[in-house]
Amino acid sequence: MYRIGIDVGGTFTDFVAVSDSGKVTIAKSPSTPDDQSKGVVAGLGVLAEDIGMELAQLLEQTSLIVHGSTVATNALLELKGARSGMLTTQGHRDVVEMREGLKPDRYRYRMTAPEPLIPRARRLGVCERIRVDGSVEIALDEAQLRGAIEQLIAQGVEAVAVCYLHSYLNDAHEQRTGEILKEMMPGAYVSLSSEVLPQIKEYERFCTTMVNAYIGPPMENYLRNLKGRLQEIGYSEEVLIMHSHGGVASIADTIKLAAGCVLSGPAGGIAGARYAARLMGEGNLVTFDMGGTSTDISLLQDGEPPLSSDNAIGDSKIALPSIAIHTVGAGGGSIAHVDAGGILRVGPESAGAVPGPAAYGRGGTEPATTDANVVLGYLDPDNFLGGRASLDVGAARKAVSKVAEPLGMSIEDAAQGIQRVVNTTMAEAIRLVSVRRGIDPRKSALLSFGGAAGLHVTAVARELGIEHIIVPRVASVLSAWGMLASDLRYELVKTFAQTDDDPAQTVRGLFREMEQDGVGRLRGNFDGDIQTSYFADMRYGEQVFEIQVPLEAIDIDDQDLIEQMEKSFHRRHEELYTYSSPDQEVVIVNLRVAVVGKLPALPQETGTLVGAQARPVKTKQVYLDGWLEVPVYEMDELAPGQQLAGPTLVISPTTAILLREREAATVTAQGWLDISLGTEPASGTIQHKQSASG
């Protein structure tokens, strides 16, 4: 039997199939932005072909598909979500417009305010009011509510966000509103804030619920379409969807909480990085995921990535827990140009999947990072995607000439300039993310993955002073591979409102209630091992923002529960900000529970890879401040323990890794590359001949 992971990216869709014996087969297929399910089915056909099966035969032998998609992200970024409306407490329909009282860029005085996803005409007030203690001050006026719903119907609304004040403490009015909406608008997508994000802070709750309503229908349409296409070709088993918090959930649960998938693909990459860290015994990693459109960066400390509830996509706040990932607009499709001041810039505009870089021959004419790599000889034009595609070197050179001519330099030097600009951009992004968290990147290993990363990673590492790089065999599809190493996961949150003299009992009750809810959801279609983790959002009394504190070392049944939580908060505050104030009042804001259903471990190939030391399959000319002829190795033929010295190219059907001068790699037992920088070429390596030709 097989398990298949699928990651839909901006340029390519990645596929990984893992058999019960641990054999890994990978494939890539062009993404189809008009309907991503078409590209998924086409890519499954490519995967089946590589395995040596018909597609129907492969799907008959597949027990699980895990899928990460950019549908939710694209709908939000491109403003192509559903025509949505909002029902909220009377007098509060402008919460999403006033935001938190701050502009995104407070020093740009002429900056126009971001437009909410739901315009004011479709945000309607409802006569009702829940007090801050959860009691009812004004009962829900159902007659007036029905009138508001009729206005939304008249405006052609297909999704409704229901956001009442203090519904996180008492959801009776929202639940009743949901019932009436289903009665009057039976086909509408309904998003209740008390279900999406039952916690204090109305802007975060309102905005997250609005996002959920906005992207819910396109996500629902896509998932139902995908499921239908898979069923048509013979697949009837489970399809799980990757969520932003690094876990997976069923299609039904994903449709209810579409906003939880806005970082679906990148989260798969971090899940893969977490699994890679366990396999390699490397606890501290900087992840470097360079794809066709962007580069995603995250940090792993002690093998785990940080979770954040302070996230934004475009102008929209999404306060659901997600892996902290920083994205920079630098990828293989990033377009280079010379600005009015004569400065070479690359990105954030991207050629995307269509038309793509000029070298793809799909109509692109602007110089992209991939075109620069083709000009420099880093990619084999006759063996792209394992020979399924070819690259047009002439088109790449013509595109790069658009920056070479105004800069007065050769096409090769311009291409190298594009490479250096992109590398600097990504290095600065890593430095920003790590240093901001008080982490020295030089003390971590750099995990390289994504189809474009291998040609840039050593140069990026040098700029950061990182000396250790790991490149998995599945680097080009690590996000899809990582999804198969993920577990079922539910994140639950409730606001802590102290109303009696026994706060510990209140905390225990809320934790138990959320745990019971999460376990109940899992047990609906899962009978495996379940693990529960507890967290609390806490702050000092005079602070405005809280921090999330893990409580794994605490027994919630202990009598001194509150005291232990406060001590954990002081320690966590000092870890993050280098100080704590034990004499100050500590406030518990929200309580969180993560309920995880442990899926079977991803099988590994029995034994270790064996084989004779691989020889180069050929030599190739590459441009490194001049043309050099370098050896080219097939990654899948490398033997454990084999050592390579740069300059060298290591290729696979879906990616290429460039080792430059004073860079060496050792092949691990898994067939991965463990790269060290600053080393001298080993004796006995092929001599690299200088060449004047291109």
How far is the CA of 187 from the CAs of 217, 223, 496, 631, in angstroms? 10, 17, 35, 61
Q: Return the amino acid letter for 115.
A: E
- Cβ contact 451:12 at 8 Å: yes
Degrees, nearest 5: CA angle 238-243-245: 135
CATH code at 488-597: 3.30.1490
Integer Cα distance of 245 and 423 in angstroms = 28
- The string of DSSP codes covering 5-32 is EEEE-SSEEEEEEEETT--EEEEEEE--
Task: Look at 354 and 681; give whichever has higher pLDDT.
Answer: 354
Q: 476: which 2 tokens?
A: 């080009």
Work out the average pLDDT over 286-309: 85
Integer Cα distance of 502 and 505 in angstroms = 6
Give the 3-state secondary structure of 229-272.
HHHHCCCCCEEEEECCCCCEEEHHHHHHCHHHHCCHHHHHHHHH
- Residue from 554, 573, 549 nearest 508 by CA: 554
Integer Cα distance of 688 and 645 in angstroms = 11
Look at residue 628 and give its three-state secondary structure: strand
Domain borders along the chain are 78-207, 334-346+355-423, 488-597
Q: Is the pLDDT of residue 686 over 60?
A: no
- First-to-last C-alpha distance (Å) of the chain: 48
Parallel, antiparallel or unpaired: strands 627-634 and 618-623 = antiparallel
How does pLDDT run across 374-422, given as a tens digit for each residue? Answer: 999 998 888 776 666 788 999 999 999 999 999 999 999 999 999 999 9
Helical segments of 437-545, H only? 457-464, 478-483, 503-523
Integer Cα distance of 136 and 138 in angstroms = 6
Q: Is the pLDDT of residue 684 over 60?
A: no
Predicted confidence at residue 694, as pLDDT, reads 34
- Cβ contact 82:214 at 8 Å: yes
Predicted confidence at residue 386, as pLDDT, reads 62
How far is the CA of 529 from the CAs of 1, 526, 601, in angstroms? 22, 9, 12
- Residue from 411, 402, 424 nearest 373 by CA: 411
Integer Cα distance of 2 and 24 in angstroms = 10
DSSP conformational letter for 680: P
Integer Cα distance of 484 and 240 in angstroms = 10
How does pLDDT run across 131-160, given as a tens digit for each residue? Answer: 998 999 999 999 999 999 999 999 999 999
Parallel, antiparallel or unpaired: strands 445-449 and 285-290 = parallel
For 6, half-sphere exposure in the C-beta direction (CA atoms, 13 angstrom radius) is: 29
Q: Is the pLDDT of residue 255 over 60?
A: yes
Place 67 in a pLDDT band, splitting at 50, 70 and 90.
Answer: very high
Work out the average pLDDT over 593-618: 77
Identify the H or E element spanning 651: strand 648-652
Which position has the token pair 């609906």?
524
Integer Cα distance of 386 and 524 in angstroms = 42
**Range with the lowest mean pLDDT among 160-164, 315-319, 461-465?**
315-319
C-alpha torsion angle, residues 582, 588, 590, 594 (rounded to 10): 60
Place 681 in a pLDDT band, splitting at 50, 70 and 90.
Answer: very low
Which position has the token pair 């058999």?
19
Parallel, antiparallel or unpaired: strands 663-667 and 673-677 = antiparallel
Predicted confidence at residue 82, as pLDDT, reads 94
Integer Cα distance of 657 and 379 in angstroms = 10
* Percent of the chain clearing pLDDT 70 (strictly above): 95
- The string of DSSP codes covering 662-676 is TEEEEE-TTS-EEEE
Predicted confidence at residue 385, as pLDDT, reads 67
Identify the H or E element spanning 419: helix 411-436
Q: List CB contacts of 237: < 8 A, sequence separation 6 or more.
A: 62, 63, 64, 65
Predicted confidence at residue 269, as pLDDT, reads 86
Burial of 203 (0-12, 13-18, 19+ CB in 10 A): middle
